[in-house]
Every structure is written in C-alpha cells, then in structure tokens.
C-alpha cells in the first residue's frame, strides 16, 4: 500500500458515490450508459471471486464488497427502479465488439492458465475498455450533465493514480505487473480528451459539449 493506491481507491469510490447520488437524487438515469455499468459489474464480479478464499486485509475486503454492491445497485437502478428514464436509444454501443477480443486476449495473455487467473486477467482487460460505451453515448448526444462529467473525471483520476502506484511499487519493491500496467495505460489514454475538456470547460462553469457525430 502507498499513498497513490489509497488516493486511487478513494477517487474510484467517490466516482461511484457521485453516480449513485446523481441517479438517486434526480430519480433519473438519463445520460448514463447502462452498458458501461454492466461491464463494470462484470469487471468486479470476475476480479473478486477470491473474496471468500483469499483474505489480504480488512481494507481490501471492505473495498471489494463496496465496489461489488455499488456496481450492482447502479445496474439495478438503471434497468430496474428508474428504467423508464433510461436513454436506451443513445446507449447503443455493441458490447460484443469489446467482449469478444477481451475474452480471446484473456486466454492468450495471462500469468497462469487457471480459471481464477484467466477471469482476473479478463477483468483487467475489460476494465480498460468498459468506459467506452459511456464515452460513445456522450459523443452521440453531444453533451453531458455536469455531475456525470465529475463522475468520469474521478473515474479517470483513479486510473491515473493507479499508474503512479505501479511506478512507486516498481521503485520501492521492484514489482512490475505488465498486464495491469499496460491495461491501465490504455484506459488512461481513453480519458485524455475528456480530461482536457473537463479542465477547459467544466471547471470554468461551462457545460461539457462535444461535436455531434456526422
């Protein structure tokens, strides 16, 4: 554990709280990609299968449970409680375009060809692209609510802080996880344009808007 890991976890947690709070207060999930949330729920499910078999620390266990519960509550609110407000017409990203290559890569590139290891690897690869349906939805509608942009910012910040965590671990422990680092870099790259727009527009009180696709 180091400060970057803790800050990354807190940023991730804050992102999920912001999203859940936005949906609950407004009783509306418009502008939120249900498909991205399904992918995140799948990420946590396949990553934390060792929850009851591999105890690391109370902190680790609590965070796993919180992320799992938050992911499934979010999916329930989008497709259950507030489904009438879900913008399905704009949440049209084809998930098979992500799932098929991620599944294939998980079998080809992993540290150990065992069920838990392959599923953990799958979760790492999938997390790196799980935000794409949300970004696609924003590009399709041309804009995003301010609270949604805050959610995306802290989600991207979490990945950037985790990269700093890997660098720190390499310096202090000589530990390097190639799969996690490469996937984290890919995921952070997806957020780069959004980070720029967030700083230049949202932080100045302007609504984030994007050019509509032709």
| Number of domains observed in the structure of the chain | 1
Alpha helices, DSSP H, located in 27-131: 34-47, 58-76, 96-108, 115-129
Q: How confident is the model at residue 198 (pLDDT cuts 50, 70, 90)?
A: confident
Q: Which pLDDT score is estimated for 211?
A: 54
Amino acid 80: pLDDT? 95
Residue pair 106/118 in contact (Cβ under 8 Å)? The answer is yes
pLDDT tier at 207, thresholds 50, 70, 90:
low
| pLDDT class of 195 with cuts at 50, 70, 90 | confident
Check if the beta carbon of residue 142 is closer than 8 Å to that of residue 209: yes
pLDDT, tens digit, 9 for 90 and up, residues 156-168? 999 899 999 999 9
Q: Does some domain include residue 212? A: no
- What value does the mean pLDDT take over residues 77-105? 94
* Helix (H) or strand (E) run with residue 176 in it: none
Residue 211 covered by a domain: no
For residue 61, is it within any domain?
yes
Q: What is the mean pLDDT of the chain?
A: 89
Residues contacting 114, CB < 8 A, separation 6+? none
> Residue 142 has what pLDDT?
75
Closest by alpha carbon to 14, among 176, 156, 137? 156
Bigger pLDDT: 1 or 42? 42
Q: Which of 167, 154, 126, 144 is nearest to 41 (CA)?
A: 126
Burial class for 138, CB neighbours closer than 10 Å (0-12, 13-18, 19+): buried
- Identify whether 156 is part of a domain: yes
Which is more confident, 188 or 47? 47
The whole domain housing 128 covers 1-206
The per-residue pLDDT for 54 is: 85
> Rounded mean pLDDT of 2-17?
94
Contact 213, 140 (CB under 8 A): yes
Q: Is residue 214 part of a domain?
A: no
pLDDT tens figures, 82-95: 999 999 999 999 99
Any idea of the CA torsion for 21, 77, 133, 183, to the nearest 10 degrees? 70
Residue 112 lies inside a defined structural domain of this protein:
yes
Look at residue 213 and tell me if it is in a domain: no
d(CA 143, CA 165): 32
User: What is the structure's pLDDT at 213?
Assistant: 47
131 pLDDT above the threshold of 60: yes
pTM for this model (two decimals): 0.90
206 has a pLDDT exceeding 90: no
């Amino acid at each position: 554990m180091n400060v970057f890991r803790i800050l990354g976890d807190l940023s991730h947690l804050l992102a999920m709280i912001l999203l859940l709070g936005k949906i609950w207060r407004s009783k509306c999930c418009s502008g939120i990609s249900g498909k991205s949330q399904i992918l995140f729920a799948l990420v946590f499910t396949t990553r934390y299968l060792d929850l009851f078999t591999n105890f690391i620390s109370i902190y680790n266990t609590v965070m796993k449970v919180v992320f799992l519960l938050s992911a499934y509550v979010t999916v329930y609110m989008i497709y259950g409680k507030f489904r009438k407000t879900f913008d399905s017409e704009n949440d049209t990203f084809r998930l098979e375009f992500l799932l098929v290559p991620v599944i294939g890569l998980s079998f080809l590139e992993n540290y150990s060809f065992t069920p838990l290891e392959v599923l953990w690897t799958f979760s790492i690869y999938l997390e790196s692209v799980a935000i794409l349906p949300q970004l696609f939805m924003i590009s399709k509608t041309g804009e995003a609510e301010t609270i949604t942009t805050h959610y995306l910012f802290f989600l991207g910040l979490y990945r950037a802080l985790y990269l700093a965590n890997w660098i720190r671990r390499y310096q202090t422990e000589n530990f390097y996880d190639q799969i996690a680092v490469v996937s984290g870099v890919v995921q952070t790259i997806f957020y780069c344009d959004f980070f720029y727009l967030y700083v230049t527009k949202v932080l100045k009180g302007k609504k984030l808007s994007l050019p509509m696709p032709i």
